Amino acid sequence: MLQQAHKSTGITRIEWILFCTAFAAGAVDIIGFANLGGVFASAMTGNFALLAYHVARGNTLSAVGSVIALAGFVAGCVIGFGLRRGRSERSTINLLLGAETGLLLLFACYALWSAQTAFVPGIRLQIAVLAVAMGLQAVVGQMTTLSTIVFTTTLTRLIGGITDAIATADSTALHEVRVQITLVASYLAGALLAGVLAVHKMSAVVFLPLIGVAMALTAHCIGGFPGAANPTAAEGDLPPQGAAPRSRDAK
């Protein structure tokens, strides 16, 4: 992991990725729920519940939207794990974030183009694109140890970290607590901002996920923000997934 922290802020490059992608996930969920027929494109637990609810009510159109979101998310995960094979961790994260940025740009452009219509296939296409992007993001989260889309687990870890920090006065545990609090706050910030824009029918809402992921990609590629520390040579050249670690004596 690229975990070297900036001396002034203590924020690692990976933490920047987590915070920015959590912001994007919060915005995506609000966009899906408010503008795309009550669908969550990143929160798959919520989609399972909504699918069961829509089926029970006989609401076929809404049920199809939930199925598309689930299928798109699975497809994104499959693609992400496939791209991960044979690549170093650094290059894999660059590739996944780059692909996600491209998908979110496609979504934003298409959403603006189709904003004046209620074309059902177009709405389903937007759901699919967002869900695939969130599937890719889930793989990034799996590689960086903290999910930016499953916040029940994050909340459980946060409560456990607070309990452990109080019991042991461990400064390392306190740092993890701060990271998890910021992660949840980032998701809430993305959701809140997207909610405000959606309520006021502002088309700029479609750009929020793109902005979040583009910032994450920038932080990972070039360390473009304070605290997005550049990795050491060794950290930037990790072996591909499944490859044997290189010997320290290897040239």
What domains, with CATH codes, occur in the chain?
13-223 (1.20.1250)
Q: Is the pLDDT of residue 145 over 80?
A: no
Q: Specify the amino acid at residue 163.
A: T
pTM of the predicted protein model: 0.82
| Averaged pLDDT of the chain | 83
* pLDDT, average across residues 195-208: 95
CA torsion sign, 108 to 188 to 221 to 247?
negative
**What number of H helices and E strands is found in the chain?**
8, 0
Q: Identify the weakest region by mean pLDDT among 50-59, 85-94, 194-203, 239-248.
A: 239-248
pLDDT-derived band at 244, boundaries 50, 70, 90: very low
Average pLDDT score over residue span 133-140: 95
Give the position of tokens 């695939």. Answer: 132
Please say whether the beta carbons of 27 and 212 come within 8 A.
Answer: yes
Residues 57, 80: Cα–Cα separation, whole Å? 34
What are the tens digits of pLDDT across the range 48-106?
998 999 899 988 888 899 999 999 999 999 999 999 999 998 899 999 999 999 999 99
